[in-house]
Amino acid sequence: MNRTKILFFATLRHQAGVRSTEMDLPEGTTVHQLKQLLIERFPGLDWQVMDHCLASVNQEYCDDETPIPTGAEVAFFPPVSGGSPTIL
């Protein structure tokens, strides 16, 4: 098994109810598979938000197909929108 530290930021932290957690993952688990496991473990996580969130593995941004290496730290950041207001 692969012991992995997971960090939640912003609204994901609120939805999960924790700042971080650790999980034992099977070798070869991808970021997408981890998202699915987290939704099962933390029912407050919104799949639509998780599906569009940004992930990093060991402080490098990655996509959903990235395999999670042994002893990794995985962080999830919710999607953001916004910008500067228009000044007339």
The domain that holds 35 is classified in CATH as: 3.10.20.30
* Cβ atoms of residues 3 and 34 within 8 Å: no
- The answer to whether residue 88 is domain-embedded is no
pTM as predicted: 0.88
Q: Report the pLDDT value the prediction gives residue 79, as an integer from 0 to 100.
A: 86
- The answer to whether residue 51 is domain-embedded is yes
Residues forming beta bridges with residue 55, ordered by sequence position = 62, 76
Q: Encoding tokens for residue 3?
A: 């012991």
- The answer to whether residue 71 is domain-embedded is yes
Instruction: Determine the longest span between alpha carbons in the chain, in angstroms.
Output: 58
What DSSP designation does 84 have?
P
Q: Which residues of the chain have pLDDT under 70?
A: 81-88
Domain range holding 27?
Answer: 2-77
- Please report, for the chain, how many H helices and E strands are present, in that order: 3, 5
Domains identified in the chain, total number: 1
HSE value, Cβ hemisphere, 13 Å, CA-based, for 46: 12
Residue-wise pLDDT for 26-45, tens only, equals 999 999 999 999 999 999 99
Q: Report the pLDDT value the prediction gives residue 86, as an integer from 0 to 100.
A: 53
